Amino acid sequence: MEPIIKLEDFRRTYRNGSLEVHAVRGVTLSIYPGEFVAIMGASGSGKSTMMNTVGCLDRPTSGKYVLDGVEIASLNRDELADLRNRKLGFVFQGFNLLSRTSALENVELPMLYSRPAVSARLQRDRALKALGLVGLADRADHFPNQLSGGQQQRVAIARALVNEPRVLLADEPTGNLDSRTSVEVMGVFQKLNEQGITIVMVTHELDIASFAKRKIVMRDGVVRTDETVAHRSNADEAIAVLEAEQKAVHLA
């Protein structure tokens, strides 16, 4: 099977005045369809830089990045935008929903930039379907400020899924959420992954990473460990445990 994401000796160097900052210094890895990868590392480890490139928001300084068979180093700004639109879905730590814009319209956003153009009717149908997938079909006309953090993140996930991307990229998706909601979001991810969606997630929380199938740890711009998650958490079970704990606290 061909990898969907293939990095070969990927390097990214920033120039800060006369100072050269080597954010990523030689990463080679392949991610295959159906994987659920957690990328961990302290701040400054290069994981965000790598995610920016994987997300086609940035280009490698040297080395190769092949996304779904397309070498991106040679693409221009518009071609990268097109790739992001068709093949990638983004979920951010801060949700990044458009304020004063309904959940439905937020989910429709990527389709505004799809080519060929998607009819308004089809946009609506697909957005509603994506909202259904994350269990928010009944909140379609709510504005972000009327939704809880977990609900906002699920709207963001629906937005990421609406164009049926090859890969879902999540940058600290639980960073702004409490532990219960975090587990719920992981539940959504696991369910999507079971349906065959490839997920790459950056996190610095070990227990969140344990919901993934594969864990990559970065330090100082290189991959330190790359291993299968041994004792994988199941979101449904974790929620049951959390509820039991809560009940116990209640009784005591």
Partner 1 sequence: MFAIFKTALRAIRRNILRSFLTMLGIIVGISAVIVGVSMGAGAKAEVDKQIASMGNNLLIIFSGNMSRGGVRGGFGMSPTLTDRDYETLRREVQGLAGISPEVRTSAQVAAGNQNTQVSIWGVSADYADIRSWKFQSGDNFTELDVQAANKVCLLGKTTATALFGEGIDPVGQIVRIKNVPFTVVGWLAAKGANAFGSDQDDCILMPYTSAMKRLSGDTKFRAFNVQFASAEVLTEVTNQIAAILRQNHQITPDREDDFSIRSQQEMSDFANASNRIMTLLIGAFAGISLVVGGIGIMNIMLVSVTERTREIGIRLAVGARARDVLRQFLTEAVLLSVVGGALGIGTGYWLAPLLTKFAGFPTLISNSSVILAFSVSAIIGVVFGFFPALKAANLDPIEALRYE
Q: Which stretch binds partner 1 (CB under 8 A): 61-69, 86-94, 133-141, 218-226?
A: 86-94
Nearer to partner 1, 163 or 233 (CB): 163
Nearer to partner 1, 163 or 174 (CB): 163
Binder among 159, 173, 199, 200 for partner 1 (CB under 8 A) = 159
From the centroid of its chain, how far is CA 158? 12
Is residue 52 part of the contact set for partner 1 (CB under 8 A)?
yes
Candidate ranges 9-17, 93-101, 218-226, 238-246; the one touching partner 1 (CB under 8 A): 93-101
> CB of residue 64 vs partner 1: minimum separation in angstroms?
20
21 near partner 1, judged by CB under 8 A: no
Closest approach of Cβ 200 to partner 1, in Å? 15
Q: Is the distance from CB of 54 to CB of 136 less than 8 angstroms?
A: no
Q: Which of 90, 153, 212, 233 is the binder for partner 1 (CB under 8 A)?
A: 90
Among 3, 8, 82, 135, binds partner 1 (CB under 8 A): 82
Task: Report if residue 96 touches partner 1, rule: CB under 8 A.
Answer: yes
Lookup: tokens for 65: 């990045």
The answer to whether residue 173 forms part of the interface with partner 1 (CB under 8 A) is no
C-alpha distances (whole Å) from 130 to each of 120, 155, 195 are 15, 9, 13
Binding string, 105-124, against partner 1, x = CB under 8 A? Answer: ----xx-xxx-----x----
Q: Report if residue 78 touches partner 1, rule: CB under 8 A.
A: yes
Report d(CA 107, CA 164) in Å as an integer: 12
Using CB under 8 A, which of 100, 121, 231, 250 touches partner 1?
A: 100
Q: Which residues of 175-205 are buried (b: 16+ CB within 10 A; e: fewer)?
A: bbbeeebbbbbbbbbbebbeeebbbbbbbbe
Contact residues toward partner 1 (CB under 8 A) are 52, 55, 57-58, 77-78, 81-82, 84-86, 90, 92, 96-98, 100-101, 109-110, 112-114, 120, 159, 163
